[in-house]
Structure 1
């Protein structure tokens, strides 16, 4: 598989699936990539075209590779690639946020893991700039 680290392109160039995966956090994720705090990769191969945003975090229990968001097709093959590269780079854990359905799906890709937290967001009907 070919892995290419790329700069954050303009929004009209982003694949709709990745924009959807970013959700309400689009601006924050874009800024993290542009500031070098996170990295955007395009992973391509036979029947594989996956966009992944990752970042590393140092925690008291070890180094974590955080999968901020991922979208595309062929994630099953990409899952093992991410695990292998995380090990090679000295990470102790991989963390991702997702729904229970995402967890079930990722479990088939080698990302079973244990639930350590749930993240909820409460919309208050007010957004910045309004």
Structure 2
């Protein structure tokens, strides 16, 4: 079971994660709250669930996945997890997820063509011509 960051844990991480200055201009998409984004990434790591099951209270999947990949590449994910461990959180649940690369093959049969869902050619019917 995943529990969101406590105030103490967030205080330990805030200086790492909130390193960008606040934008004063109003162009582009609104920035996502960093604590919520961090909770979303940690939810995936700690539960082991797929991105498609990310609860609705969190930011979009592409935003969260981009942040996780950014943290992995920069090494910041290890630092975040070490700080959480120092704050008293058990990080053993996500140990296998830390260095796990994003899945590059689709779920299910990997030998079938991408986007093709029928398996029996006899069941396929050509499109009907419209006159």
TM-score between the two structures when normalised by the length of structure 2: 0.30
Higher relative contact order (CA 8 A, sep 6+): 2
- Structure number with the higher helix fraction is 2
- Structure number with the higher strand fraction is 1
TM-score between the two structures when normalised by the length of structure 1: 0.30
| Greater C-alpha Rg | 2
